[in-house]
Amino acid sequence: MDCDTVRAEISSAIDEGLALSPAAGEHLAGCLRCEEWQEKAHRLRRATLRPVGAAQTLHPDPLVLPSRFRLHRWLRLTLAWTGITLVGWNVTTVMAARTGAAVHLERHQAAFSVALGLSFLFVAWRPDRAYGMVPFAMTFTAALSFAAIFDLVHGTSTLPRESRHLIELGGLALLWLLGAAAGPSRRGRSKGPAATE
């Protein structure tokens, strides 16, 4: 067999995963150039079968933020300030030594506000978690807003007193904006197993 015929058989064998014929094997045993050509063909085949992105890290550093998060630094700073304010306003109520049913309910409400403030601080540090925090913040602020409106309608509270809860609504808005940047895109979400973003 001549070199061209052997190399054509080698190429076909590599592509289809077949073994070489005895005649091609005998030719390779005595032809150094065809043996080198076979090795180069195998290396080329292995290179083309390398998984896409194999050279990239499989576990990126979660603290290294994508470029779209750097555009929202002011949102993170504002959310951090909101969290600090919530914690500062309510932690004294949680730690108060007073007793009574009304104080007990007030302490519970303050504890929820402290938890929300800490959540805001966490998302300001890790904005990639914003999308998952939106449902918690939304349900809490919705319930709080309903309670505030109920108290205002029935005259059991005043507008200046309830206006301080606007900070929770502001924090929710900031969280929503960060979640829109950090969370999965609903417009680009695949609708089938074969679809990609």
Which DSSP state fits 95? T
What is the model's pLDDT at position 64? 53
CA distance 9 to 178: 58
Whether residue 82 has pLDDT greater than 90: yes
Looking at the whole model, is its pTM more than 0.95?
A: no
Q: What is the model's pLDDT at position 182? A: 59
Structure tokens at 197: 């973003």
pLDDT tens-digit profile of 94-130? 777 666 555 666 777 788 888 899 999 998 888 888 8
pLDDT tier at 51 (50, 70, 90 boundaries)? Answer: low
Strands (E), the chain: none
* The pLDDT value given to residue 188: 40
Find out whether 121 and 80 touch, Cβ atoms under 8 Å: yes
- Percent of the chain, pLDDT > 70? 73
Q: How far apart are CA 109 and CA 90, in angstroms?
A: 9
Distances (CA, A) of 32 to 27, 132, 134, 150: 9, 62, 67, 91
| Digit-coded pLDDT (tens) for 165-184 | 788 888 888 888 887 765 55
User: What confidence category does residue 90 fall into, taking pLDDT thresholds of 50, 70 and 90?
Assistant: confident
CA dihedral 131, 133, 136, 138 (to 10 degrees): -50
DSSP states of 125-159: H-GGGHHHHHHHHHHHHHHHHHHHHHHHHTTSS-H
Among residues 121, 128, 133, 125, the alpha carbon closest in space to that of 66 is found at 128
Q: What is the pLDDT of residue 71?
A: 56
Highest averaged pLDDT of the listed ranges 14-23, 74-83, 98-107, 136-145? 74-83
The encoded tokens of residue 27 equal 């030719």
Instruction: Supply the pLDDT for residue 192.
Output: 42
The full set of domain ranges for the chain reads 3-48, 72-182
pLDDT of 142 > 70? The answer is yes
Q: Using an 8 Å Cβ cutoff, are 130 and 182 in contact? A: yes
